[in-house]
Every structure is written in C-alpha cells, then in structure tokens.
Structure 1
Amino acid sequence: MSTLLQLKNVNSFYGEAHILHNLSLEINSGEVVSLLGRNGVGKTTTLKTIMGMVKVDGDVIFNEGNISGVPANIIAKKGIGYVPEERRIFPSLTVKENLLVGVYQKGEWGLREIYELFPVLEKRQNSMGTMLSGGEQQMLAIARCLMTNPKLILLDEPCEGLAPVIVQELERAIAKLKDKHVTILLAEQSLRLSKTLANRHYILSKGEVCFEGNSNELFSDEAVLVKYLGVS
C-alpha cells in the first residue's frame, strides 16, 4: 500500500495555546486508522490540522504534496473530506439538497450509491434537515462527505451520543466503506468500534502520540490500555 497522508513533527496552536506537540503519523491508501485517547488530548485538533483549520508548524503531506498552511477549501478540493462531530448539515435544505451540495467532481459516489449505503436517506430525501434524528443527521453528514468523492475521509466521533441500534447501522456502513478500500482516519473513544473497523491505531496523550500499532499489539498491551484509555 502507498502512503496517502503523513504528518511529520506537527505542532498545532489555538492562538497561543500549544495543542499538538511534534505529532507524526501516517495513513496508507485503503486502510482505516483509528485515533484514540481521552477527551481533550488532541484528536479533533489533529483532524482540523489536516483540514487546514488551525495554525500549524510542521509538514502535512497528502498525496505527495505538502498541504501545511493550505486553506481548507483547497484541501477539500484536493480530496480530503471532513465529517465533524457536530455534523453541520444544512437544516433549511432537504436531505437530497444537502447531498447535492457536496457534488463538485464526478466519481464513484452518487445518489444511487449513497441510497444503497444509507437506505433511510432515500426514504427521507425530501425531508428538511431540521426533521432528522441525530442518527439520520450523522448518516447525512457522512453521505454528503462521500458525495465529494474524497481520497481520504476524516471522521470525528461518528457514533458519539447515538442509540445502540443507530451505532450498529453506522458501524455496518463504515465496514462497507472499509471493504471498498475507502481510506479513513477515525477519531474515536470506543475501543470496540476501533477494534472492529481499524487496521491500525494511534493513541494520543497531551497532544503527543504515545502508542501506535495494530489491534493485536494494542489489545495485548494492558499497561497502555490502562494508562492512556482507562480500561483493562
């Protein structure tokens, strides 16, 4: 597999606040990588750093080009899709209109493929964003991202606060994306979800990478699980 994304000694800031400290990671084309850690350790900041939404020092290499300091709209056009935790769908547009907003280049994903992945969105295609449940909004946010036909998807806590039945549906959908070799960086707190979906894992603590490895390496290291994730 070829390397699609690399962060090399990246430092990120909100004003004078130094959040990420010499952070390095890489994602290969076609794999799902999880970004784990407690609240406040820098997971969301890492995604925003890749997306060009925070001040950054260091190198962010995507598809062999340095995108550090590049505006977010240009990064999106280069092929990175971002699904923030707060979803940010357009409440005054219908489901179908929300999906069509994301179309600016042709590719594998169109309305037919989206409706196959999320059948509920076809049933609700004429419903306004304000009429959707939290789970439906999350599906719509992921679907709208797919409509841009990205090379890499950044998913921030996609199952946070959702009912177990919705989590199962989203998990199935993300597993289907994995089967299609869609490249995903998944910021997540759920170890079960990460173990099920991800090929490799990074754990953050205080804005630094404190562990990287595959599932066998992570789940056999009780000291790491206890120290950085509070589980055993």
Structure 2
Amino acid sequence: MEIDALMADHPILWTFRRCPYAIRARLALASSGVTVELREILLRDKPAAFLQTSPSGTVPSLRLTDKVLDESLEIMIWALKHSDPQRLLEMPQVGWDLITVNDGPFKDALDHTKYATRFPDLDVQEERRKASGYLLDLNEQLVGRTWLFGDRPTLADLALLPFVRQFAHIDRAWFDAQEWPNLVAWLDRFLDSAVFSLVMHKRTPWSEGDAPVLFNG
C-alpha cells in the first residue's frame, strides 16, 4: 500500500510510549489539539511501514502529506505553529538554550548514568554529577515559579520534563533527597497532570489492518 494512501485523513505519528522524545512530541500535539493517527510500535520489532517512513528508524516520526518530520522538536514546533492555545511558543531565548543543553550534554550524562554498563570506560558518579549540575540550574530557574518562566508552561517545560522524569526514575529516592525542591515539585506537578496521563495511555502496538487510532488531546 502506498504511504500517502495510509494517511488519507490525518498525519501519522509513529511513537513509543516510554521514549522521552516521543512523550514530548505527544505533549505538544495534545496541547495543540491537532489530530493525528497514532501508531504505537515496539522498538525491538519495528514494522516495515514505519521503517519506510522514518529516515532514521527512530521515534517519534510524523508523516505529513509532503514530508516526514523525524525530530521530536520539529514535531512540537509544527504542531504548535498550527495551534497554540496555551501560548507555549511564547518564551524567552533562554528557553531555547535550556532545550539545547537538555538535548546535548544533559541527555549524554543521563544515558551514561542510566545505561552505565554500556559505557564501562566512564565514571558513572561523574556522569551523574554532570547531569546534576544542569538540574540544579533548573531548580534555580524555578525559584518562586510554578513553571520555568512563570505561572504557565512553555515549550521548554514540555521539552525538558520527559527527560528529567527519565533521570529521576533511575533512582527516585536519591533524586528526591537532593537539594532541588523546586525541581521535584515541578516534576511531580507534571506527573500528576491530566495531559501526562493522556499521553502515557497504554496502547496495543500497531499492526497492518488495524483501525486508525486518532489522537488530538
């Protein structure tokens, strides 16, 4: 079947429930209200239709009529440029700077900590220290604020929170014992939110012939 025929009605979002990149893409789509067809996959058993769509073979991947968006931040911006009722794109430049650090040095340190056995030449305590430095900066950013830039979330909050969640869940007791109370409160507020519950809903992995699963927040 031709790829364009598969998405006659809505863009197709290929996703994996626990992937932080996919989580933040779903968060932006839910916030925008843009309707997509959601296709959950197993990373250990990627469908041929997904591999035909995604140039990188990674999630999330959004198939549009004329192109494929294969980066989570691209998908977030695409969705919010279509509809942004919460004004998530209205944030200062420092928000973009935080995303850059999150997606670079922090993500590296997170992976080196969470998957330490894959990196035997690295000191896991040093990698956790690197990640913690970034998180302490976020804690300072949150002093006196509900969200990173005030009393409402922005794109930066949605883009960062799935990765902070992943880091916290390496050892939640240790995480909660650190000197970053504002960060813990920010994360817990997100974990208790309706939108987090929505985007983390468990779905059966997609297979050829399944009825479309529509997602629009």
Q: TM-score, normalised by structure 1?
A: 0.31
The structure with the greater share of residues assigned to strand is: 1
